[in-house]
Structure 1
């Protein structure tokens, strides 16, 4: 057992050693008093003090606190490693540190304040955005080509478009998306993967040579490898809730920076690239990186709707700064790379349904609420009646 006292340490073994140490430190104050009284001709105290004198001198000495700790069971002694660790000051004073700020001063500027997850409340009003159109302007409206025509107002869900900024979450998801398709090891080819070698080079018998079935055998020159290296991918899994939260954060940032344009129609009437440039020029975004979000493609949908979506894809194919995604393929990486998001009214409804923060009431599938509203209404009424019955029983 190691005891720290007066900056020094002593090793004791057993109860006898502990008592001997206590006796030695108890007599130390008396020895100091003897040395001080001898030159002055004072009365010398006895060399062997009594038990009461020893206890009284210990209580009056500066070692009383240490000895009281040692004599109080259980004998907890301070650790030598902890006692010698110097106190380190934080790089930033606590009075000047912002809430949720890290201790590392070099890392503080790259962290943002985190908030609690957004919980939908009944008293929170829906957000609103202008509903515009990019229909071809008539000749009398040619002077107002740079004034986008606003045809109404559309409501947005707060749990999708009013999320706090989480740059750390965005960075995490972007790294996850960019890891797809990355191979860190060279990949070899087997005898079946090397080009050629389909014909048998020589007969099985009659030539006096060894049997061979392909010129791409592993023991032949220019042949495949018997056990080639298999490329290892660095991709990994990411929880779906984290992905959806990242998309909501990116969309909320676009809405707060006024970089969201909601249009009333999906697709284009023409497949010409100049036609799309003219429509983008209506909003003065022809020189920006634009992400156009349209409704999910339905192969069994109406012919006109499919034609308009195909026209939009073909018109944007020649523009490197314009990308077209469906409501089901919107991702964080495309949202971060684009400066403006143009979304149709139909795609907006599908996107909010995909990214809704909470499930439907009573945990029923969304298909029931869409195609069987009567069943959904009955389930909601039953859930309300059950809640009222439970509340009345508790009262």
Structure 2
């Protein structure tokens, strides 16, 4: 499969560098909704923190013996110090520990990422740019370049090993625009944005990631 390469201004790159051959095993698959759903669900579950538990009566290290007389003390007739009414006592019907740590086969995770990339390529919402290099970190200038590049309401930019610092600073305040290095590419963020923008370095990094 061949993809056309553009500049950040939306212009086509001239010459032999104007097209980029990509691996059909990564960008040419038929996406499956069940695989994508499994990977996205796994990602969102992994984000959840552990729900902390409260100590109940059986967890409090106090005596269960009756500590006072039944009558004559002038106070309530308590049986032990572990009751919820006392400071430090066990909580009645407290929250239980819930640990969200699902597992998913690595092959399914890799397949899901390849299908997410393929879904963007098949729906023409994948743009390949030569690089994200900018001389100055100017948000206004970058917005003008985005208008020429042409994408939807949201876009995910994926660069190579590291994101250009000026581009990262200039795009930080633009709503709907997110930037990631190639190592951070994931199914949820790709599907959660209308347009996916890859640099030439990002394509090379992703192909090396799967081929390696």
Does the alignment reach a TM-score above 0.5? yes
Q: Greater relative contact order: 1 or 2 (C-alpha under 8 angstroms, separation 6 or more)?
A: 2
Query: How far does residue 183 in structure 1 lie from its aligned partner after superposition?
Result: 4.8
Q: Match for residue 149 of structure 1? A: 12
CA contact (8 A) 1:266 1:295 kept: no
Task: Structure 1: state its 5+ residue gaps.
Answer: 1-126, 136-146, 190-219, 298-307, 357-365, 367-395
- How many angstroms does 1:235 deviate by? 2.5
Structure 2 unaligned residues grouped into runs of 5+: 56-85
- Give the conservation status (yes or no) of the 8 Å contact 2:154–2:177: yes
Aligned length: 178
1:131 maps to 2:5:
yes
2:135: which partner in 1?
A: 269
Q: How does 1:38-49 map to 2 (within 5 A)?
A: none
* Partner residue in 1 for 2:154: 289
* Bigger CA radius of gyration: 1
Structure-1 separation of matches of 2:184 and 2:90: 40
| 1:224–1:173 CA distance, 2 compared to 1 (3 A) | farther
Offset at residue 295 of structure 1 (A): 1.0
1:309 aligns with 2:142: no
TM alignment of 1:155-166, pairs within 5 A: 155-166=21-32
Q: Pick closer, same or farther for the CA change 1:253–1:165 going to 2, 3 Å.
A: same
Distance 1:275 1:241 in 2: 42
Could you tell me how far apart the structure 1 residues matched to 2:169 and 2:89 are? 42
What secondary structure sits across from 1:171 in the alignment?
helix
For the 8 Å contact 2:158–2:182, the answer to whether it is kept is: yes
Contact 1:291 1:340 in 2 (8 A): yes
Q: Which secondary structure does the structure 2 equivalent of 1:349 belong to?
A: helix
TM-superposition CA deviations, 1:314-336 (whole Å, max 9, x none): 22221230111111110100111
For residues 229 and 262 of structure 1, what CA distance do their matches in structure 2 show?
A: 49
Please tell me the root mean square deviation across aligned C-alpha atoms, in Å.
2.7
Find out whether 1:239 has 2:99 as its counterpart: no
